[in-house]
Amino acid sequence: PDQPLEPTRQEPPPGTAPAPATRPAPLAAPFDAAAAKTVQNEWGNYLKVPAETTNSIGMRLVLVPAGDFLMGASQQEIDRMLPVVPQQFKGRFAKDQVPAHRVTITRPYSLGAHEVTRGQFAACVRDANYKTDAERDGAGGTTLEPKTGALKQQRGIDWRSPGFQQNDSHTVVQVSWNDANAFCEWLSRKEGKTYRLPTEAEWEFACRAGTTSPFSNGHDPAQLVAVGNIYDAPWKVEFPGPGQAPE
């Protein structure tokens, strides 16, 4: 969830850096961590807000400056990646990534530094007496067919019982767009601030963090295991049928 921000007119507290008189320059990719921190602080001074905050349910929110970046991938990059994409996702992967195009983020926003946890979502469920789509319609959430690795809907699968063990510090799963939006609406009421889901461009700008490579950690898909849970050797052992990860 993120909070759109607008400049305020209140005076800065004694001892803090004065707010710049003009709107800071946008943060244009490529950029490194040092440049991002500098521009983030400039925007924080301009808006008179901290660069990082923690809200009432323990979510750490990071101020993301306005900026621009190249969104999507070239056909050459897609052709290079397709061999490591599971068969059932190849069509969507290629369609979702083209054409590569320049995107401008015109307003700064605060974005959660981490995914919403199961414990944080549980607080929403308790306070709002909320039922997720998977619980409400009785059809269940989405899981994987063990023999093939194909996605399927299964009764009894939901955020409480996702099909594997979790605790309250883990990322909440088996929630729909409606469920995520309901969480934002609940948190907005709770705190008296506007929380919403980020746009695809806002999310990608933040997560790319100034990189221009196909992945945030470089060009080599074999190195994705260092930054994410991907279709790797354990997937092949668990789901040895069609759609398995390649060697």
Q: Answer whether 46's CB lies under 8 Å from 24's CB.
A: yes
SS3 51: coil
Q: How far, in Å, CA of 128 to CA of 122, rounded? A: 10
Closest CA to 24 of 8, 4, 40: 40
DSSP conformation class of 246: P
Choice between 159 and 8, residue whose per-residue pLDDT is larger: 159
Question: What's the pLDDT tens digit per position in 190-230?
Answer: 999 999 999 999 999 999 999 988 888 888 877 877 887 76
Structure confidence by residue, pLDDT tens digits, 228-246: 776 666 666 766 655 444 4
Coil, strand or helix: which one is 88? helix
What's the pLDDT tens digit per position in 29-40?
999 999 999 999
Q: Which pTM does this prediction carry?
A: 0.81
